[in-house]
A and B are shown apart, each in its own frame.
Chain A
Amino acid sequence: MRNYDCPQCGAAVPFRSSVTVFATCGFCRSMVVRRDAEVSLMGTQAVLPPDLSPLTIGTRGTWGGRDFTLVGRVRLTYDEGAWTEWCADFGNGQWGWVAEAQGLYYVSLEIAVPADFPGVQELAAMADGPAGGLRLGEPALVVGRAQMELERRVGIGGVTYVVSDVKQATVQAAEGELTFAAVPGRAGLSVDLRGEGDAFASAEYASDGVRLFTGRIARYEDLRFTELRPVPGWTVEAETVKGQTAATVCPRCGAPVEVRAAGFSLTATCGNCSGVLDATDPGLKLIGEAGRAQSEEQLVPLGARGEIGGTTYECIGMMRRRDQYDESWSEYLLFSPFAGYRWLVTYSGHWSLVEMLASAPKENAGQPIWRGQAHRLFARAKTEVTYVLGEFYWRVRQGEVSFASDFIAPPWVLSEESYPGLSETTWSAGEYLPSSAVAAAFRLTQPLPEPSGPYLNEPNPHREKGRTLRWLFPVAALLVLLIQALTASNSGGRNVFESSFVYRAAETNAPVATQEFRIEGTRPQAIEIGLSAPVDNAWFAVDIDLVEVATKKVREVGVGVEFYSGFDDGPWSEGSTTGSTVVPSVAPGTYYLVVQAATDPAVTEMGYELRVKRGVTLWANLWITLTALAVYPVFRWIREHTFERRRWSQSDYSPHAVSDSGDDDDDA
């Protein structure tokens, strides 16, 4: 670090960084430029407007594994608002910028401008011309604007970037050290280019030529900031830091207007006259109308603070939007000086916490992928802002139109929004939030409306209830199969009796008692009695009494066979010449059968065989068990499926639409 004496007041003007050439005296706000060992005065710097950024000169951070220190900042304005760029010293002579915008941090490093970069050759020719020198002034902006039309693809270091925004930026004020002379009013053409994922580039066409920066978009937590300043109203009482509050009056009606996210908000609204005000203008210039609130009430009041996901947010804005189907919903803008912005979107009693994404999600087969999940298209709509209240980070206006597409993977919803006339598409991700969580977070005393109907990203409650069944039912089914295999393997299925008989219609055919046979084993078991008779276009049956010798206990069963064949349009046959029946739970012991045969009256004589097999496998028990186990999971599945059908019935892109029409066809 090297200290110079301020040429104006004599106070020390430190140059901590070796790469900076411009500094503002912290005592008298004189602008100081150093050349070699000398410093010279350039006038007086403007006053920076109050803001709530936790960053300050001396704040340290880490980006891409490299440490940096913020050494200065410049506030830039353009026709739609303003933003802050922090000059970051990465050490070893390397420096970059950390821009704060829309609650995100755009970190970039300066790179050498390629010779074929748009406008470079034209500017070089102008610099070599009769005017000479590098002070191109206005022509540099003209060349930049002519070269960098929106959507132009530009290759930088082998990577393709697309021009997404072109605006003239003017230095409003600066503090600390900078790598260029940030004199208030200095104009440059700022060109934003978006790359793959969160990569971006920015080019500046200014009086001293073209500068090019490449970098990535980061979130507050990514940069691991330390040495932060107290944030008035957040980490310290607002009154303890002078000049950091931003309360003023509406220029139209004189009502007090508080800018809650000073330095971040671009617009504010007057709660009294509904005028939309320029929050970046110290006088809060009137720039539009907010529209009148309809019957909708404001569920989360402006200024209410609540903790969601461990971060405290303040509700700073609310807007009402409507789509072409006349459905309308409310969006509450939440702000944290640290985490940036979030949205609370509510429709029909349902709530989602929405976060803007730094980059478009990857796609697979037309479905955006986020958090490893494919999101299915649910709705496309043209939306219109019907009412705004509070502050916003862009120049929101009543009647602002956008085209939105919603993709869902409950509880998530991904929204893609594009705006007529702008090349940029923004993506945001929302997570369903129970209304009770919203009420608890903001300590709302008024009860929130009850949710009605399934919402696009509402978690399927039946899926939640059936989540365990997804693994429990297969495990239970496997267990049942295992039990079946183990218990069935103990059953021998051995023949214990076999005998032949003859039925003669001419005889009396009194019941026949068979020889005794023994059923071995230690437990009751199922036995199978099999009948075999060579019937042909006839039937044959036997009524059997299974008699236990010791107890004379009788079990009655019947078994029969029938077989028919013929020739109609072709040969046919049905039935069988063999049949069997099972007698369950037969105790071990000695038995005999009492057999009474009967047959078709046309049959005069029939030989038949009877067999008794013990320890047979009872397959019916397996099917009964599996069916019993499946009843509850099937019930759950039906409930879950019904909920999904109701959810998707609100969509023009329902995956059930094809099967629905198929069902109708079947019904017809």
Chain B
Amino acid sequence: MKIRTPIYLVFVVLVCIVQAMANRNGWGMYPGMGGGFRPSGPATRHK
């Protein structure tokens, strides 16, 4: 516990910094990036 809690605390701080930077700089991963749209058609039960 004496070791793990500070590690988790550091992790929390890092995650918060990354989250803030990501929001400030518009970072993110989205499915539309780099690829085209692929139609799926109606669900199987309706085809």
Residue ranges of A at the interface with B (Cβ–Cβ < 8 Å): 464-465, 467-469, 472, 476, 479-480, 483-484, 486-488, 490-491, 523-527, 529, 537, 539, 541-543, 555-560, 562, 564, 566, 568, 572, 574-575, 581-586, 600, 615, 617-618, 620-622, 625, 628-629, 632
Report Cα–Cα, A486/B23, bound state, in Å.
Answer: 9
Q: Is the CB of A525 within 8 A of B1?
A: no
Contact residues in B for A488 (Cβ distance below 8 Å): 23
**Given A523-B26, A584-B27, A618-B28 in contact, is the A559-B37 Cβ separation under 8 Å?**
yes
In the bound assembly, the distance between CA atoms of A523 and B32 in angstroms comes to 22
Q: How far is the CB of B4 from chain A (nearest CB, A)?
A: 6
* Set A523, A524, A541: member contacting B36, Cβ < 8 A: A541
Contact A539 B26 (CB under 8 A): no
A465 with B41, Cβ < 8 A, contacts A487-B23, A582-B30 known:
no
Return chain B residues, CB-CB under 8 Å to A523: 24-26
CB distance from A219 to the nearest CB of B (A): 34
Task: Establish whether residues B16 and A539, one from each chain, have CB atoms under 8 Å apart when the complex forms.
Answer: no
Min C-beta distance of B17 to chain A, whole Å: 9
Kindly state the separation between the CA atoms of A484 and B35 in the bound complex, as whole angstroms: 28
Contact status B1-A621, CB under 8 Å: no
| Interface CB pairs A-B, < 8 A, 5 | A467-B1, A468-B5, A543-B37, A584-B30, A584-B33
* Interface contact A625-B27, CB-CB below 8 Å: no
Looking across the interface, which residue of chain A has its beta carbon closest to that of B45? A568
A525: chain B residues within 8 A (beta carbon): 25-26
Please state if B24 and A539 are interface contacts (CB–CB under 8 Å): no
A130 vs B40: C-alpha distance when bound (angstroms): 114
B39 and A562 contacting across the interface, CB-CB below 8 Å: yes
B15 touches A585 (CB 8 A): no
Binding site for A on B (CB under 8 A): 1, 4-5, 8-9, 11-12, 15-16, 18-20, 22-43, 45-46
Contacts of A465 in B (CB 8 A): 1, 4
Chain A nearest CB from B28 CB (Å) reads 4
Once the chains bind, are A629 and B12 in contact (CB under 8 Å)? yes
Q: Which A residues lie within 8 Å of B24 (CB)?
A: 487, 490, 523
Please measure, in the bound complex, the distance between the C-alpha atom of A600 and the C-alpha atom of B43, giving whole angstroms. 16
Measured between beta carbons, the chain A residues less than 8 angstroms from B23 are 483-484, 487-488, 491, 617-618, 621
Tell whether A620 pairs with B28 under 8 Å between CB atoms, given A562-B41, A564-B41, A600-B39. yes
Q: CB distance B39 to A484 under 8 Å?
A: no
Tell whether A484 pairs with B19 under 8 Å between CB atoms, given A568-B46, A574-B43, A632-B8: yes
Using A465-B4, A483-B20 as known contacts, list a sample of 11 further A-B pairs with CB atoms less than 8 Å apart, ordered by residue number in A: A464-B1, A483-B19, A487-B23, A559-B32, A562-B41, A566-B42, A584-B29, A621-B22, A622-B19, A625-B16, A632-B8
Contact B41 A539 (CB under 8 A): yes
Closest to A465 in B: B1
Q: Inside 8 A of A524's CB, which chain B residues have their CB? A: 25-26
Which residues of A sit under 8 angstroms from B40, Cβ to Cβ?
Answer: 562
Distance to closest chain A CB from B26 (angstroms) = 4
Chain A contacts for B8, CB-based, 8 A: 468-469, 472, 632
- Chain A residues with Cβ below 8 Å from B20 are 483, 486-487
Q: How far is the CB of A575 from chain B (nearest CB, A)?
A: 8
Whether the pair B34, A556 counts as a contact (CB closer than 8 A) is yes
Give Cα A566–Cα B43 distance, bound, in whole angstroms: 12
Complex Cα distance A572/B23, Å?
Answer: 39
With both beta carbons as reference points, the residue of chain B lying nearest to A584 in the complex is identified as B28
Nearest-neighbor residue (CB-CB) of B42 within chain A: A564
User: Do B32 and A618 have beta carbons less than 8 Å apart?
Assistant: no
Cross-chain contact A581 with B30 (CB below 8 angstroms): yes
B15 and A629 contact, CB distance less than 8 A: yes
Q: Are B46 and A582 in contact (CB-based, < 8 A)?
A: no
* B31 and chain A: residue at smallest CB distance: A581
B36 to chain A, nearest CB (A): 4
Q: Complex: how many Å from CA A583 to CA B41?
A: 25
In the complex, chain B residues whose CB is within 8 Å of the CB of A559: 32, 37
7 nearest CB pairs, A to B: A581-B32, A560-B37, A487-B23, A541-B37, A558-B36, A539-B39, A526-B26
Given A484-B23, A526-B28, A584-B29, CB of A479 within 8 Å of CB of B39: no
Given A583-B33, A628-B15, A541-B39 contact (CB < 8 Å): yes
Q: In the bound complex, what is the Cα–Cα distance between A468 and B4 (angstroms)?
A: 10
Contact B12 A476 (CB under 8 A): yes
Q: Is the CB of B26 within 8 A of A585?
A: yes
Chain A residues whose CB sits within 8 angstroms of the CB of B18 once the complex forms: 625
Quick one: given A468-B5, A628-B15, A629-B15, are A621 and B27 in contact (CB under 8 Å)? yes
Query: Cα distance A568–B27 when bound, in Å?
Result: 44
Q: Which residue of B lies closest to A537 (CB)?
A: B42
Find chain B residues with CB under 8 A from A472 CB. Answer: 5, 8-9, 12
- Name B33's contact: one of A483, A543, A557, A625 (CB within 8 Å): A557
A526 CA to B32 CA, complexed, in Å: 13
Q: Closest residue of chain B to A558, judged by CB?
A: B36
Cβ contacts under 8 Å, B37 to chain A:
539, 541-543, 558-560
The complex places the Cα of A484 from the Cα of B20 at a distance, in Å, of 7
- Given A483-B16, A583-B33, A632-B8, the answer on whether A618 and B41 have CB atoms closer than 8 Å is no
Contact yes or no, B22 A618, CB < 8 A: yes
| A237 and B10 alpha carbons, distance in the complex (Å) | 57
Identity of the chain B residue whose Cβ is nearest the Cβ of A488 in the assembled complex: B23
Taking CB as reference atom, which chain B residue is nearest A586? B26
CB distance from A496 to the nearest CB of B (A): 14
Q: How far is the CA of A526 from the CA of B27 in the complex (A)?
A: 7
| Nearest residue, chain B, Cβ from A527 | B26
Complex interface: chain A residues within 8 A of B12 (CB) = 472, 476, 479, 629
* In the complex with contacts A539-B41, A564-B42, A558-B32 CB distance below 8 A: yes
User: A539-B39, A618-B27 given as contacts; is B32 within 8 A of A582 (CB)?
Assistant: yes
